[in-house]
């Protein structure tokens, strides 16, 4: 029976990522196959749900390929000795509990940051550095551009337009650029400001008859960093003022950096001239981190604060937070707090069901059929056309987008995706998914198309 399960696992490992295999299958074993009723042993009850929902078909097929009849497939946690809770001093009242939590929170702050308050002259927060920015497949292009700016500001990537959803690290990266520029040249004149502050200060200067002084303040800069540019919507006078400041700085080869949650031409009421200028040097987006990226972020965070957390606990958090980096780090800190208070390791908390991490932007479950239907409708095709063997460009694109979403949103194996889109060879699926993955880094229209489809799926 050991050999049967070993062979089945080897087959499963070929169909899913190494990270997912390590997370969900490493410590499983076969209990029984009597009368076709297959029973598989797993580490804890959380694994039961994951294997049942995500990998049932793959496991069943792998067993059948090894001559095991599968009438039913169940996952069980065999009895083991319970984790012993380490004794802790009892916290007797609400005041002491509150003080204790405050002490823990202070210990969770990064150790090497002496002052995390923004400096008054630059607006920069010194806690944002390149050393603490974790580079992954979701942000490597933007990071490379940032390093080029630091080496030669005002030249190749000017203006530098960075966009992406909330909590993905835009503010961190652009402030890190500013801090590094100051570090290399203390006399470098730089100013960081959210667009809302720019707007408020501009209104105040107009009301106080100091409009020219406001403009001159920006003309003296070597680098201007504007954050959350999308909030400039419907503020025509502020747009005009920013447009003039932008042109003056650009003509002098001064570095301009702007962040937003979307491209300039997607922001209503933004002047076309300004929208065009902001992307003269291209636009760089920060995407949602993949599983491996999230694990790297959490490992770095643990090292930064000196926290002791098991790799399995890190993988659990990474697997279950699918919104943004801010939420990822928030859940990480919450589990560390609970670990301190309850006297259990993070993994023990997870295994005994004390925490239930489930941050996702998905509002309701979806099926493969729903994905295929939505993709076909979005590209004005029938599902029959999408599943056909046609090599027409728009049909091929729709088919590859469907493959990508089936893989990314439902974690289907390439073999399962091939069945859903009527493709015989699973290598064709692998090629299609890889092509979409690669194109998303530079093809912003494709990124927007996929986001639109996802909104229709989960909206």
The mean pLDDT value for 310-336 works out to 88
Which one of 347-361, 380-394, 427-441 scores highest in mean pLDDT?
Answer: 380-394
Model confidence band, residue 86 (pLDDT cutoffs 50, 70, 90): very low
Instruction: Answer whether residue 140 shows pLDDT above 70.
Output: yes
How far lies 39's CA from each of 76, 151, 318, in Å? 7, 59, 28
In sequence order, what DSSP letters do the residues of 127-154 get, joined into one string? T--STTSPP-TTTHHHHHHHHHHHHSTT
User: 189, 222 in Cβ contact below 8 A?
Assistant: yes
CATH code of the domain occupying 368-458: 1.10.1750.10
Instruction: Answer whether residue 119 shows pLDDT above 80.
Output: no
The DSSP secondary-structure symbol of 231 reads G
Nearest to 390 by CA among 421, 415, 367: 421
The distance from CA 457 to its chain's CA centroid, rounded to whole angstroms, is 19
The predicted pLDDT at position 175 comes to: 97
Q: What is the pTM of this model?
A: 0.60
- Domain ranges in the chain are 2-76, 140-286, 368-458
The mean pLDDT value for 418-444 works out to 87
Query: In 268-344, where does DSSP find H-type helix?
Result: 272-278, 291-305, 311-320, 325-342
pLDDT (tens digit per residue) in 37-73: 999 988 766 677 778 877 888 999 999 988 889 999 9
Which of helix, strand or coil describes residue 353? coil
Instruction: Answer whether residue 436 shows pLDDT above 60.
Output: yes
Topology agreement, domain 2-76 and domain 140-286: no
| Tally of CB atoms within 10 A around 207 | 9
For residue 451, what are the contacts with CB-CB under 8 A and spacing of at least 6?
Answer: none
Instruction: Answer whether residue 84 shows pLDDT above 60.
Output: no
Q: Exposure of 176 by Cβ count < 10 A (0-12 exposed, 13-18 middle, 19+ buried)?
A: buried
Q: How far apart are CA 329 and CA 429, in angstroms?
A: 33
The residue whose two tokens read 């590209």 is 379
CATH topology of domain 2-76: GMP Synthetase; Chain A, domain 3 (3.30.300)
Structure tokens at 438: 């690669």
The DSSP secondary-structure symbol of 87 reads P
Helix, strand, coil percentages in the chain from 3-state DSSP, rounded to 5: 55, 10, 35
Which of helix, strand or coil describes residue 50? helix
Which DSSP helix (H) or strand (E) runs through 164? strand 160-164
Relative to beta strand 29-32, strand 190-194 is unpaired
Instruction: Answer whether residue 147 shows pLDDT above 80.
Output: yes
The mean pLDDT value for 323-345 works out to 88
Preceding omega of 259 cis (within 30 degrees of 0):
no
Which one of 63-77, 309-323, 382-396 scores highest in mean pLDDT?
Answer: 382-396
Which one is predicted more confidently, 229 or 354?
Answer: 229
Which one is predicted more confidently, 456 or 299?
Answer: 299
Sequence-separated contacts (24+) of 206-209 with Cβ below 8 Å = 206/237
Instruction: Answer whether residue 85 shows pLDDT above 70.
Output: no
| Tally of CB atoms within 10 A around 38 | 24
The predicted pLDDT at position 1 comes to: 62
Model confidence band, residue 301 (pLDDT cutoffs 50, 70, 90): confident
The residue whose two tokens read 């080869």 is 253
The mean pLDDT value for 248-263 works out to 94
pLDDT (tens digit per residue) in 11-30: 888 888 765 777 678 778 89
Task: Kindly report the average pLDDT of the chain as a whole number.
Answer: 83
For residue 11, what are the contacts with CB-CB under 8 A and spacing of at least 6?
Answer: 62, 65, 66
Query: Does the CA dihedral 326-327-332-335 come out positive or negative?
Result: positive
Q: How far apart are CA 317 and CA 250, in angstroms?
A: 44
The predicted pLDDT at position 244 comes to: 93
CB burial readout 267-293, b (16+ within 10 A) else e? beebeeebbebbbebebbbbbbbbeeb
Could you name the CATH architecture of 140-286?
3-Layer(aba) Sandwich (3.40)
Which one is predicted more confidently, 375 or 290?
Answer: 375
- Expressed in angstroms, the distance from the first to the final Cα of the chain is 46
Which one of 105-119, 120-134, 394-408 scores highest in mean pLDDT?
Answer: 394-408
Q: How far apart are CA 59 and CA 16, in angstroms?
A: 11
The predicted pLDDT at position 189 comes to: 95
Q: How far apart are CA 88 and CA 339, in angstroms?
A: 12
The mean pLDDT value for 386-402 works out to 93
For residue 222, what are the contacts with CB-CB under 8 A and spacing of at least 6?
Answer: 153, 154, 181, 188, 189, 190, 254, 255
Q: How far apart are CA 140 and CA 446, in angstroms?
A: 19
pLDDT (tens digit per residue) in 185-225: 999 999 999 999 999 999 999 888 888 889 888 999 999 99
The predicted pLDDT at position 46 comes to: 61
User: 255, 100 in Cβ contact below 8 A?
Assistant: no
Q: How far apart are CA 456 and CA 459, in angstroms?
A: 5
The predicted pLDDT at position 266 comes to: 80
The predicted pLDDT at position 410 comes to: 82
The mean pLDDT value for 291-317 works out to 88
Radius of gyration of the chain (CA): 26
| Tally of CB atoms within 10 A around 204 | 11
Instruction: Answer whether residue 319 shows pLDDT above 80.
Output: yes
Instruction: Answer whether residue 117 shows pLDDT above 60.
Output: no
Return the bridge partners of 258, or none.
161, 226
Instruction: Answer whether residue 430 shows pLDDT above 80.
Output: yes
Backbone angles phi, psi at 107, to 5 degrees: -70, -20
Which one of 113-122, 209-218, 389-398 scores highest in mean pLDDT?
Answer: 389-398
């Amino acid at each position: 029976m050991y050999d049967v399960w070993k062979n089945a696992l080897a087959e499963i490992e070929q169909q899913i990522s190494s990270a997912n295999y390590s997370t969900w299958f490493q410590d499983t074993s076969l209990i029984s196959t009597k009368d076709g009723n297959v029973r598989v042993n797993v580490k804890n009850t959380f694994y039961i749900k994951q294997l049942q929902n995500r990998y049932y078909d793959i496991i069943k097929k792998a067993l059948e390929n090894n001559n095991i009849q599968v009438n039913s497939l169940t996952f069980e946690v065999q009895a083991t000795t319970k984790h012993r809770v380490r004794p802790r001093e009892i916290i007797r009242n609400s005041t002491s509990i509150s003080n204790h939590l405050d002490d823990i929170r202070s210990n969770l702050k990064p150790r090497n940051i002496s002052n995390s308050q923004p400096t008054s002259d630059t607006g920069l927060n010194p806690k944002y550095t390149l050393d603490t920015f974790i580079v992954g497949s979701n942000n490597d292009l933007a990071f490379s551009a940032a390093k080029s700016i630091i080496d030669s500001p005002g030249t190749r990537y000017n203006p530098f337009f960075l966009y992406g959803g909330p909590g993905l690290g835009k503010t961190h990266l652009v402030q890190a650029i500013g801090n590094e520029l100051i570090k290399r040249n203390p006399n470098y004149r730089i100013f960081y400001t959210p667009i809302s502050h720019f707007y408020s200060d501009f209104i105040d200067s107009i009301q106080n008859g100091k409009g020219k002084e406001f403009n001159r303040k920006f003309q003296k800069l070597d680098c201007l960093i504007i954050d959350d540019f999308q909030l400039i919507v419907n503020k025509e006078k502020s747009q005009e003022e920013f447009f003039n400041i932008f042109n003056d700085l650009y003509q002098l080869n001064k570095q301009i950096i702007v962040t937003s949650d979307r491209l300039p031409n997607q922001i209503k009421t933004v002047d076309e001239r300004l929208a065009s200028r902001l992307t003269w040097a291209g636009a760089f987006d920060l995407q949602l981190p993949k599983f491996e990226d999230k694990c790297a972020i959490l490992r770095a965070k643990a090292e930064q604060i000196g926290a002791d957390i098991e790799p399995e606990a890190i993988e659990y958090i990474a697997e279950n937070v699918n919104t943004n980096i801010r939420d990822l780090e928030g859940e990480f800190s919450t589990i560390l707090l609970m670990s301190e208070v309850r006297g259990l390791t993070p993994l023990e908390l997870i295994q005994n069901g004390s925490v239930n991490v489930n941050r996702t932007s998905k509002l309701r479950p979806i099926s493969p059929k729903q994905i295929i239907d939505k993709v076909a409708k979005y590209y004005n095709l029938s599902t029959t056309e999408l599943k056909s063997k046609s090599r027409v460009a728009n049909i091929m694109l729709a088919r590859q987008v469907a493959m990508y979403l089936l893989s990314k949103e439902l974690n289907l194996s390439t073999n399962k995706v091939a069945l859903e889109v009527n493709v015989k060879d699973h290598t064709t699926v692998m090629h299609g998914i890889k092509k979409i993955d690669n194109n998303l880094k530079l093809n912003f229209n494709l990124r927007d198309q996929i986001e639109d489809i996802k909104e229709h799926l989960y909206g």
